[in-house]
Structure 1
Amino acid sequence: MSSAEGIALRSLLHCCLSALLLGVWPPLSSSAEALRLFSQEYPPVNFSRDGEPVGMAVDVVRELARRSGQPITLEVVPWARAYREALALPNAGLFVAMRTAEREPLFQWVGPITVNITSFYGLTRSAPSIDSLDDARHHGEIAVPREWYSHQLLLAEGFTNLHPVPGPDMVVQMLKHGRVRLMVMDNLGLSAYLARGGLREGEVKLLFSFLRSYSYIAFSSETDPSLVARWQDELDGMKRDGSFAAIHHQWLPGQEMPGLRAQP
């Protein structure tokens, strides 16, 4: 090895050691394999507009990819497909997903991205009185998005009067047309889904909140753990420097913002 090569090697080793000690991540190679990231129609957090993914979480994910130098592809697909792909594929992820005890060992998690409050809702003109989960069991069928975390939780609670449907748009339609007296919805998507279903917010009444949860980016178990760790560090950095708050306020004004690395 020539003296010039030795100097270059020592310089490279010094830079790498300094990066490790200071927690500074070098940019990924532009030839790195693109992450495949899937999301669903869940406005205003993630959804499609004119065929392009947009929303609060989409802006966060794009900024995380920029900061880490990681190429990505984004696809908005039905929830069942998004979940299946993120579960099985290497270098893949799903956002946003609720971090539940059942899902915990299936994915690697980066977040939290949002704070969600899930509740029972009814039409204001005919809403029953509900003060507990037990009350909700006695008011006929309850419309709930199939295989959402809220559906899974209520099944685990022994509910036998659930009417699962393909998505929240149909949940709103069932309530609007009187096919059910109750629907399950979370606070972040409520306004958008009511508007899409032709209901004003004043026509729907919050009856009982039963679940507080955090959403995350869920990476497949086959994704490189060091990449996942880097995305978590970059997300924490966004929360410290205020850029996360700016995105959150733009899309979710007045809603609670998550802190650093909240637990499921």
Structure 2
Amino acid sequence: MGDGGERNGLQSPPPSSYAKEEDGPARQPEPIMPHATTHKLLQASMLLLAASCAFPADPIRLATHQQPPLSFTRDNGQADGLAVRIVDCALKKLQRPYTLDFLPWPRAQWLVQRQQFDGFFAATPSEERDGYAVLSGALLPYERRWYLLKSSPLSPSSPEFKRQARIAAFNGSNMDVWLRDHGYQLTSTPGNSEQLLRMLQSRRVDAVLGNAYAVDALIARLGLQAELRSELAEALPMGVYFGKAFLSREDPQFLTQFNNALQGCRSK
């Protein structure tokens, strides 16, 4: 007998015709089970979902610098400041953990550029920073101001000022780049705002360009209100620069969500 199912030249009937009444009712077809590959994919998806719930997102690595009243550390080591509180408020709204390191300002930016940190603040916009990071919405209104001795005859709005005035600005800030780009006589870039004021007091420079939050607070602390005057140079937004590498790993809506959270935090 061959494999074709024929016997003595007659075609074998279908298997169902062999069933007899005494054999009981016909067997029900077995349920179709999911394909093994589909089952494995479902298992993998469930494991990934469980893992995402069990392990929260990595902390966002932020950097700032000592610039009271915007950002500073208290005697107990706790971070504080106008900008720090707003960033903390926004990230808590998003339920995102973060770390905050106080570093020299040039290094804070360098580490984000090298993708070792995720963001730095409080910062104003610049073309150089825009190359490797994206600026958030404004944390606070910000003024960049000229500071001069009250006895100085110079005026920042005069043509002679740009050509003659010896000017200092904070190292690593947008201001030192801006001064060079606009043809001012930048003669010194000290590492902090107090050094700026000391240079101005000692007449080593004729004017300084500074962050109004930081310099005004320092003038009040040092009691220099009677000696110095200031003029508005420029009003700019001040926010968090998030590295492009960091944003590429995040949900595409992260920056929008962060900016939305800022709106409620600025008013507190």
Of structures 1 and 2, the larger Rg is shown by 2
Q: Identify whether the pair has TM-score above 0.5, normalized to the shorter chain.
A: yes
Alpha carbons of 1:95 and 1:45: their partners in 2 closer, same or farther (altered >3 Å)? same
Greater relative contact order (CA < 8 Å, ≥ 6 in sequence): 1
Match of 1:206 in 2: 230
Alpha carbons of 1:173 and 1:46: their partners in 2 closer, same or farther (altered >3 Å)? same
Distance 2:109 2:120 in 1: 7
Confirm whether residue 233 of structure 1 aligns to residue 233 of structure 2: no
Match of 2:240 in 1: 217
Match of 1:128 in 2: 153
Confirm whether residue 80 of structure 1 aligns to residue 106 of structure 2: yes
Letter in 2 for 1:245: S
**How many Å apart are 1:171 and its aligned residue?**
0.3
Unaligned runs of 5+ in 1: 3-8, 10-26, 247-264
Match of 1:5 in 2: none
Alpha carbons of 1:175 and 1:131: their partners in 2 closer, same or farther (altered >3 Å)? closer
User: TM-score normalised to the size of structure 1?
Assistant: 0.73
Distance 1:132 1:145 in 2: 21
Unaligned runs of 5+ in 2: 1-32, 35-41, 43-51
**How many Å apart are 1:113 and its aligned residue?**
1.2
Match of 1:36 in 2: 61
Secondary structure in 2 matching 1:36: strand
**How many Å apart are 1:28 and its aligned residue?**
8.0
**How many Å apart are 1:211 and its aligned residue?**
2.1
Distance 1:194 1:129 in 2: 20
User: TM-score normalised to the size of structure 2?
Assistant: 0.72
Report the count of equivalent residues: 220
Task: Name which of structure 1's ranges 110-119 and 32-41 shifts more when overlaid on structure 2.
Answer: 110-119
Distance 1:119 1:33 in 2: 38
**How many Å apart are 1:80 and its aligned residue?**
1.3
Identity %: 22
Cα-to-partner distance string for 1:134-168 (whole Å, 9 max, x where unaligned): 33224442121123111101100122343221221
Q: Is the 8 A contact 2:122 2:238 kept in 1?
A: yes
Distance 1:28 1:223 in 2: 21
Letter in 1 for 2:169: V
**How many Å apart are 1:90 and its aligned residue?**
5.3
